[in-house]
Amino acid sequence: MPRTAFKRALVTGASAGIGAEYARQLAAAGTDLVLTARRLDRLEDLAAELRARHGVKIEVVPADLSKDDGLSRVEKALAADPAIDLLVNNAGYGGRTGFLRGETADHLDMVRVHVDAAVRLTKAVLPGMIARGRGAVINVSSVAAFSPASGAQYSGTKSFLVMFSENLRTELRSKGIVVQALCPGLTHTEFHAAARQDLSRVPEMFWRTASYVVRVSLRRLGGRVVCIPGWENKAAAFLMRCPLTAGLVRAAGRSRIVRERSGKGD
């Protein structure tokens, strides 16, 4: 259960994976929801499930956040709903190629979904939270934010979310609003299949479930800004940032084997 009780939350990318799990755990805690994603059928199925199971009020807003009309639709929904006291910027996806092989339009779509959407939706929700003197924003980043071998676009946009969250928390410290950058590692969702990444050889000990990741996120909300679920992910983040080991990690990331397995070889 979340450490803090929320009355109404908006979750982006709520049709599957970590986003759907946020919806399930928040609904179980009695939180009314606004769910948004591209796939309307999945949103409606999830909304029906949660209404029946928990009796919460749920609004569905289908939107593609890589398109300006979709992002504007969610932005307006936030601005018009001052009761929302939790925003989960979860929408995102992994790159299928490296930067050189990828199309510029695809790179810009990722910036819109990971960066533009987080900035615009956070800006839209904050006035209501500030007026209330209470609220929270969760930006779903990734342990790849600290990695030199996870793709220029993906790691770059996820790194933005970490620093955006860190600095935003400082700016909002006196407003009663908390901010978290959630940085999960390998998680059992549709994410890797959608990015065409074959990680079947990775031992199970390095994987976490979406349920675990979200449970840790909600319990730690209000603590440290950067939340890294799992000892293995904490260790990886430490090794990638520690001055004594970062060079070795970068050297490993430049190897052909690592780049080919991650799908980022150019």
CATH of domain 8-261: 3.40.50.720
Please give the pLDDT value at position 235: 81
Question: d(Cα 109, Cα 148) in Å, to the nearest integer?
Answer: 21
Inter-CA distances, 203 with 41, 121, 186, 262, Å? 34, 37, 11, 16
Q: Which residue type does 160 have? A: F
pLDDT tens, position by position, 207-223: 689 999 999 999 999 99
For the stretch 98-107, contacts whose Cβ atoms lie closer than 8 Å and that sit 24 or more positions apart, written own/partner, are: 98/151, 98/152, 98/259, 98/263, 98/264, 98/265, 98/266, 99/151, 99/152, 99/153, 99/266, 100/266, 101/266, 102/153, 107/153
Find the range with the poorest average confidence among 93-97, 122-126, 146-150, 261-265.
261-265
pLDDT tens, position by position, 155-209: 999 999 999 999 999 999 899 999 999 999 887 765 544 444 555 565 565 568 9
CB 178 within 8 A of CB 130: no
pLDDT tens, position by position, 227-247: 999 888 788 777 766 666 655
CB 157 within 8 A of CB 142: no
Please, which residues bridge with residue 187 across strands? 208
Question: d(Cα 220, Cα 169) in Å, to the nearest integer?
Answer: 14
Question: Residue 49: is its pLDDT beyond 60?
Answer: yes
Q: What is the DSSP letter of 3?
A: S
Residue 24 banded pLDDT, cuts 50, 70, 90: very high
Residue 31 banded pLDDT, cuts 50, 70, 90: very high
Give the strands of the sheet with 32-37, arranged side by side.
58-62, 32-37, 8-12, 86-89, 135-140, 177-182, 226-227
Please give the pLDDT value at position 77: 94
CB 9 within 8 A of CB 88: yes
- Picking from 125, 116, 214, the residue whose alpha carbon sits closest to that of residue 177 is 125
Please, which residues bridge with residue 60 across strands? 35
Sequence-distant (6+) residues with CB within 8 A of 68 are: none
Catalytic: 212?
A: no
pLDDT tens, position by position, 50-75: 999 999 999 999 999 999 999 999 99
Please give the pLDDT value at position 246: 53
Choosing from 22, 93, 154, 212, the catalytic residue is 154
Q: What is the pTM of this model?
A: 0.86
pLDDT tens, position by position, 136-145: 999 999 999 9
- Picking from 164, 144, 168, 143, the residue whose alpha carbon sits closest to that of residue 154 is 144
Which residue ranges make up each domain of the chain?
8-261
Percent helix / strand / coil, the chain, rounded to 5: 50, 15, 35
